[in-house]
Amino acid sequence: MNIKKTPLKDCFILKPAVFGDGRGYFFESFNKKKFKKLTGLNIDFVQDNESFSNRGVIRGLHFQTGEWAQAKLVRVIRGKVLDVAVDIRKNSPTYGKHFSIELSGENKLQLFIPRGFAHGFSVLKENTIVSYKCDNYYNKESESGIFPFDSDLDINWGLLEHEAVLSKKDKLLPSFKDYINQI
C-alpha cells in the first residue's frame, strides 16, 4: 500500500498493490498496521457501507457531528465517481478547502477522509458501486450536510447542476456559510 498526502491536512490517497494474472486480481484493501505506520493515525473502523448509483447522482456533502463524527475510507468497487472531501474543522489550516479525486473500479484508489470533514461524490458512470469504512457508527440525530453546489465552496462535480440527481434531503441542505453560522 502506498499513501500520498492531499493538500488537506490528514486526508490521504491510498493506492494498494494490485496483483493480477489470467485469473483476475487480488489486493489488500486495508491494513491497520501499515496505515498507522504510514500516516501516524490509529483508526479503528467499525462499520462498512455500500451504495449503488447511476451516472449523474450526487450524494453529499454529508457528515456527522459531535461524538458521532466519522472518519471514512472510500473506494469504488465498480464504475467511477468524483469523490470530494471538504475540511470543516474551524481550527484547521485547510478549513473551508476541498479536495477531489476520481475513484474507480479500475484505478482502485481510495480516499481517507478524517473526522471533521464533509464528504460527497458525483457518479460519473452507470451502475457504480461505492464502498466505505467508517470509524464510528451512524447516528441519525447527528447527521448533517452542506449543499453540494454551494457557491462559496465552488466544487466542480464534473456535472452541471441541472444534470445532477440529488435526494430531496440534499436539495435542502444549508450553504457552507449558513451551516457555519449555526454552530
What does the domain layout of the chain look like in residue ranges?
44-182
Strand partners, 5: 12
Which pLDDT belongs to residue 179? 86
The one catalytic residue in 98, 119, 132, 179 is 132
Say whether pLDDT at 173 is over 90.
Answer: yes
Retrieve residue 62's grid coordinates.
454529508
Confirm whether 132 is a catalytic residue: yes
pTM of the predicted structure, to 2 decimals: 0.94
- pLDDT for position 156: 96
Nearest CA among 126, 120, 115, 109 for reference residue 29: 109
- Written as one string, the DSSP assignment of 17-83 is PEEEETTEEEE----HHHHHHHH-------EEEEEEE-TTBEEEEEEE-GGG---EEEEEEESEEEE
**161 vs 85, residue with greater confidence:** 85
Q: Is the pLDDT of residue 84 over 80?
A: yes
Q: What's the rounded mean pLDDT across residues 144-153?
A: 96
**Residue percentage of the chain with pLDDT more than 70:** 99
Buried b (16+ CB within 10 A) or exposed e, 8-17: bbbbbbbebe
Mean pLDDT across the stretch 5-27? 95
Question: Is residue 63 pLDDT above 90, yes or no?
Answer: yes
The average pLDDT across 117-134 equals 98
pLDDT given for residue 161 in this prediction: 84
Domain 44-182, classified CATH 2.60.120.10, yes or no: yes
Give the pLDDT confidence score for residue 152 in this predicted structure: 93
Q: Residues 25, 62, 98, 179: which is the catalytic one?
A: 62
CA 28 centroid distance within chain: 19
Does residue 183 have a pLDDT over 70? no
With cut-offs at 50, 70 and 90, classify the pLDDT of residue 1.
confident
pLDDT of residue 97: 96
State the first-to-last Cα distance of the chain, in angstroms, to the nearest integer: 38
119 counts as catalytic: no
Per-chain mean pLDDT for the chain? 95
Residues in contact with 33: Cβ distance below 8 Å, sequence separation at least 6, in sequence order: none
